[in-house]
Amino acid sequence: GFGERCGNANLSTIIPNLQLKLGYSCIPDSNMSQLTTTARYIAEVSNIPIVGYEPYVGNSAFAHKAGMHADGVTKVSQSFEHVDPAVVGNSRRFLISEMAGRTTLMQKLQNICPDLTRDSPQTKEITDILKKLEFEGYQFDAAETSFELVVRRQLQQYKPFFELVHFKIIGEKPAVVGYNSSATIKIRVGDKEEITAAEGDGPVHALDSALRKALYVFYPELRKSRLSDYKVRVLNPQAATAAKVRVLIESTDGEDVWSTVGVSTDIIEASWIALVDSIEYKLLKERQKQKKLATGGN
């Protein structure tokens, strides 16, 4: 919970515990499905993120990994889940990794494209691409958004919303007026180009700020989203300064949270890959939402 010193009672856990486990009436049953959305909204406005292992509203509360485990969930969900995730407004996730079985992979693929089967040529192509990416150091169990974009690109279900022409990053020491980096970027959307510059606390912050500033001209809806977490892991530390790194970025628009990943021997390049996936996903989600509204929700 949030509060002074040690914090107050965490109602996102106490309410469902009392109501779903012990039978006490705390809120109308119809409101229970808003629990996760409400908790994420509060986390957004308070700038205190929800930890993944929160038992009802956490991103990992109903996440499943590995073949037999995931297969069992689909057959008898209550054998692995303490409540139906939909009851509290959360959702079940099947994680993709080198340990995931074919059943898990097909479930993920069919969530994106229901027409895919185990024998579809596209399924083999996607599987081969995923194996290649995992060999390069990618892991999609914590970056499902990047996984979805890999699949959609292979299925040609969308085309990129913008094209990078070039970017340049300059680091300064000592920092000037509180910022130690600046970035200039030029992008192309259709037949139009936009060039902008921005400063930041470090090269990635400067690059992210410059990219968003350029894209706001074409996609003002991006103002709703922002980076909420940034992590770097060195994959082969024995290579010293030539080591390959994996960058994991978490983003939010106040309603949803999504994670993307990038891998490279260049930390800026790895960050760029993850940044682009994050923005592409947000724009894709907005287009899907608009299309759904235009077709009356069908």
Q: What is the pLDDT of residues 170-209, one digit of tens each?
A: 988 776 667 889 999 999 999 999 999 999 999 999 999 9
The share of the chain scoring above pLDDT 70, in percent, equals 89
Tokens of 10: 């965490």
* Confidence check: pLDDT of 272 > 70: yes
Please tell me whether residues 136 and 183 are part of one structural domain: no
In this prediction, residue 13 has a pLDDT band, given cuts at 50, 70 and 90, of very high
* Confidence check: pLDDT of 68 > 70: no
273 in a domain, yes or no? yes
Please tell me whether residues 78 and 197 are part of one structural domain: no
Domain that holds residue 80: 11-64+71-93
* Confidence check: pLDDT of 267 > 90: yes
Please tell me whether residues 262 and 172 are part of one structural domain: yes
The 3-class secondary structure across the chain, one letter per residue, is: CCCCCCCCCCHHHHHHHHHHHCCCCCCCHHHHCCHHHHHHHHHHHHCCCCCCCCCCCCCCCCEECCHHHHHHHHHCHHHCCCCCHHHHCCCCEECCCCCCCHHHHHHHHHHHCCCCCCCCHHHHHHHHHHHHHHHHCCCCCCCHHHHHHHHHHHCCCCCCCCEEEEEEEEEEEEEECCEEEEEEEEEEECCEEEEEEEEECCHHHHHHHHHHHHHCCCCHHHHHCEEEEEEEEECCHHHHHHCCEEEEEEEECCCCEEEEEEEECCHHHHHHHHHHHHHHHHHHHHHHHHHHHHCCCC
pLDDT in tens, 127-177: 889 889 988 888 887 788 999 999 999 998 888 999 999 999 998 877 666
Query: What is the number of domains present in the chain?
Result: 3
114 in a domain, yes or no? yes
Indicate the average pLDDT of the chain. 87
Dihedral class, residue 20 (left if φ above 0, else alpha if ψ from -120 to 50, else beta): alpha
Between CA 132 and CA 141 the distance in angstroms is 16
What pLDDT score was predicted for residue 34? 92
Q: What is the pTM of this model?
A: 0.71
What pLDDT score was predicted for residue 99? 47
Between CA 293 and CA 298 the distance in angstroms is 8
What pLDDT score was predicted for residue 153? 92
Say which CATH number the domain at 189 has.
3.30.160.270
Please tell me whether residues 52 and 135 are part of one structural domain: no
1 in a domain, yes or no? no
What pLDDT score was predicted for residue 268? 95
Please tell me whether residues 57 and 106 are part of one structural domain: no
* Confidence check: pLDDT of 281 > 60: yes
Please tell me whether residues 107 and 180 are part of one structural domain: no
Please tell me whether residues 181 and 254 are part of one structural domain: yes
Q: Across residues 46-68, what is the average pLDDT?
A: 81
Between CA 208 and CA 169 the distance in angstroms is 11
